[in-house]
Amino acid sequence: MNLRIFSLALLATVVLFVGDASAQNKKFYIFLCFGQSNMEGNARIQPQDTVVDPRLQILETVDCPNLKRAKGNWYTAVPPLARCNTGLTPADYFGRTLIAALPPDVTVGIVNVSVAGCKIELFQKDSYKDYAATAPSWMVNMINEYGGNPYVHLVEMAKLAQKSGVIKGILLHQGESNANDTLWTLKVKGIYDMLLKDLHLKAKKVPLLAGQLVDEDQGGKCAAMNHIIDKLPEVIPNAYVINSIGCPAASDKLHFTADGYRILGTRYGLQMLNLLGYKAPATTNPLPIQTTGNTGR
């Protein structure tokens, strides 16, 4: 073998090796999460919430020295799952529910970019600047942690996650700041469509799961918004509404308690398992997730 042929063979070997090393793991299921404070996580994290199967991973989206986690790296999904000092979120028990039912060679990854108190407009490409310009200082600080543009930050983190696995779904919990906004479903559709386009995803393969707000049975201050959220499947065929009936509420009647997040997160998980073609194990509490159409009520 002459030097030229040897060099070409060596180059081909290197290319194949690099390609294999960076190959997307089809058994690493990625889920994007966004919204406001309930998706960010509001309840205090309790000891039972810190015991997590290593198969459940979080992509850290900001630098968190207090957690010894750096932006852009994967870690076992010990809460908090949004930013450095946020609380328990539905994503916590969504992930645990999946891990309990999926095959042992499947890993689940969470990417959570959420901002407490924000309107859905903060995630719209044509509205976020105007909205951020009038946001209170405490919210601006959160927005700035995401580089001033939470939507772009979510996309950047999602693209990074795609190098490791496959995006299987999108979770949303938002609406308290858009109460009675009849255009909310169309605004969400616009964001969902943008995510599909920017991440080269197919709508049929990537469902959107949207959780209801604190229900009227818990005295929810924004419970009327659930009737608007329930209409989301009318504009997004692959959307599913996760009901909040019976999920305990915090004293402000806007957020859930830790138990509320655990129940709601489990319902998100059960719905996603159903869509993935898996059944929940017998040890999982069979909480109601769906009654008619794509709606969780």
Which residues belong to the active site?
A: 37, 252, 255
Cβ contact 170:206 at 8 Å: yes
Strands (E) across 24-76 are located at: 28-35, 56-59, 74-76
CA distances from 146 to 156, 242, 276 (A): 10, 27, 31
CA distances from 101 to 172, 183, 184, 277 (A): 22, 37, 33, 11
Task: Quote the radius of gyration of the chain (alpha carbons, Å).
Answer: 20
- What span, in angstroms and rounded, lies between the C-alpha atoms of 173 and 171? 7
At 99, give phi and psi (nearest 5°): -60, -35
- What span, in angstroms and rounded, lies between the C-alpha atoms of 170 and 138? 27
